[in-house]
Structure 1
Amino acid sequence: MAPVLWVFLGGGLGTAARYGVQLLLGEPGQSFDTAIFAVNVAGAFGLGAIQPWLKRMSAAQSGFIGPGFFGGFTTYSALMVSPVVTARAGDVSGSITYFLVSLAAGLVAAWLGIALTKSRHRG
């Protein structure tokens, strides 16, 4: 199967996984969208954790996991839309807080994923 088809398949699975988390944690549109926050932080951690292996994988494998699964699982568009919707509803401070906390948590999660994998590779 061509690598782009593996990306497509991984993206479908990642999107289905995100939808499952959204069903478990609540509907979008809340002032703090817990589901989108959770998938973005978990996705940042997961993608960070697999970094050492991505370069050693085939194009099909890395495409399935990286831009495929994690690309479908996480959602940049919802990260951008949620603060706008919240601000338009009158909660500007909540909007800014959600955006900044999401960015900071994503950065920390990616860093932790990379650090955890590197520490396990050394041992």
Structure 2
Amino acid sequence: MNQIILIFLGGGLGSLARYGAAKTFLKWSSVFPFGTLTANIIACLIMGFFTGWAALRPSESVTTYRAFIAVGFCGGFSTFSTFSNETILLIQNNRMTDALLNVFVSLTLCFGATIAGMWLGKYV
């Protein structure tokens, strides 16, 4: 299948998953951006898993999966622009502690999820 189509399909599914994450945590969105945090952690775990899995295979055999999973799905699902916007809005609303907490928790958990995914991809 053409890589453009795979990216398109993966991106559409990732965007729908992102919408689902946002809806799941909608009633808490005024407290903390849990939907964005959850989407980013899961996307990092998936990306890490794919990276670990792909490291054990010849590069030509992962091209199709990379287009669908890494570029398409994770690209549609992860939300760095939303994370940035929500953090800036917290700052503008004089919620500096929440803004710093969002940055710290997001980076810590997303890096951790990526590392965990890489490990799982290599050993599962």
Residues 27 and 70 from structure 1, CA distance in 2 versus in 1: closer, same or farther, beyond 3 angstroms? farther
SS at match of 1:90: coil
1:42 is aligned to: 42
Pick from 49, 61, 64 the counterpart of residue 65 of structure 2: 61
The answer on whether the counterparts of 2:11 and 2:77 sit within 8 Å (CA) in structure 1 is yes
Q: Is the 8 A contact 2:44 2:110 kept in 1?
A: yes
Which residue number in structure 2 is paired with residue 75 of structure 1? Answer: 79
Residue in 2 that maps onto 1:95: 99
CA displacement at 1:20 relative to structure 2: 1.0
Q: Write the deviation string for residues 39-79 of structure 1: whole angstroms up to 9, x where unpaired.
A: 10011011111214444545333201111001101111011
Q: C-alpha root-mean-square deviation of aligned residues, in Å?
A: 1.9
Residue 32 of structure 2: SS of its match in structure 1? coil
Query: Post-superposition shift, 1:97?
Result: 1.2
| Residue 104 (1) aligns with residue 108 (2) | yes
Per the alignment, residue 22 of structure 1 pairs with 22
Where does structure 1 lack aligned partners over 5 or more consecutive residues?
none
TM-score (normalised: structure 1): 0.86
% same residue: 27
Cα distance in 1, alignment partners of residues 43 and 60 from structure 2: 20
CA distance in 2, matches of 1:64, 1:27: 31
> Bigger CA drift: 59-68 or 35-44?
59-68
2:119 is the alignment partner of 1:115:
yes
Q: Which range moved further: 53-62 or 72-81? A: 53-62
| Distance of 1:28 and 1:83 partners within structure 2 | 15
How does the TM-score come out when normalised to structure 2? 0.86
CA-CA distance at 1:28 after TM superposition: 8.3
Aligned length: 120
Task: Quote the Cα distance in structure 2 between the aligned partners of 1:4 and 1:27.
Answer: 36
